């Protein structure tokens, strides 16, 4: 169990303990106080659970994007450091058809840095 999952479970258990506590019975005002704490802990656990799920989904998306950048990252090795980032490579489309690529050498270098977990 991850640290986040353990914390969420502990918050939920604590909220249940507050909600079901005999200490909430003596006075209505105290009961409301304990119940609101239980509700707050439950709300906090729900919010934390949602944030952890969102973070995990975003991490999975980042991993997919890094994987998609790998072909560009591998292409970076073909370009030595003397070639400017602003240079647009020529693409051979076959049958003698050549054109400038829609991406620059700088784009390839940034793709490599991102694919390797860095930032640009």
Give the whole-angstrom CA distance, residue 53 versus residue 40.
Answer: 20
Residue-wise pLDDT for 56-114, tens only, equals 899 899 888 888 888 877 776 777 788 888 988 888 877 777 888 888 888 888 888 88
- pTM for the structure as a whole: 0.54
Phi and psi at 62, nearest 5°, equal: -60, -40
Instruction: Report the chain's mean pLDDT, rounded to a whole number.
Output: 76
Q: Which pLDDT score is estimated for 9?
A: 80
Q: What was the pLDDT predicted at 21?
A: 58
Q: Which two tokens stand for residue 41?
A: 């802990």
> CA-CA distance, 72 to 105, in Å (whole number)?
10
Paired sense of beta strands 98-100 and 90-92, if any: antiparallel
pLDDT above 90 as % of the chain: 3
Q: Which of 6-10, 59-63, 115-119 has the lowest mean pLDDT?
A: 115-119
Segments making up each domain of the chain, as ranges: 3-115
Mean local confidence (pLDDT), 5-24: 70
How is 11-49 classified by DSSP, letter by letter?
HHHHHHHHHT-GGGSS-HHHHHHHHHHHHHHHHHHHHHH
């Amino acid at each position: 169990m991850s640290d986040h999952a353990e914390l969420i479970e502990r918050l939920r258990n604590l909220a249940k303990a507050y909600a079901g506590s005999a200490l909430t019975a003596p006075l209505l005002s105290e009961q409301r106080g304990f119940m609101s704490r239980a509700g707050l802990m439950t709300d906090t656990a729900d919010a934390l659970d949602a944030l952890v799920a969102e973070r995990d989904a975003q991490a999975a998306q980042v991993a997919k994007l890094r994987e998609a950048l790998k072909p560009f990252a591998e292409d970076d090795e073909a370009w030595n450091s003397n070639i400017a980032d602003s240079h647009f490579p020529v693409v051979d489309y076959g049958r003698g058809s050549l054109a400038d690529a829609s991406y620059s050498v700088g784009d390839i270098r940034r793709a490599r840095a991102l694919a390797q977990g860095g930032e640009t």
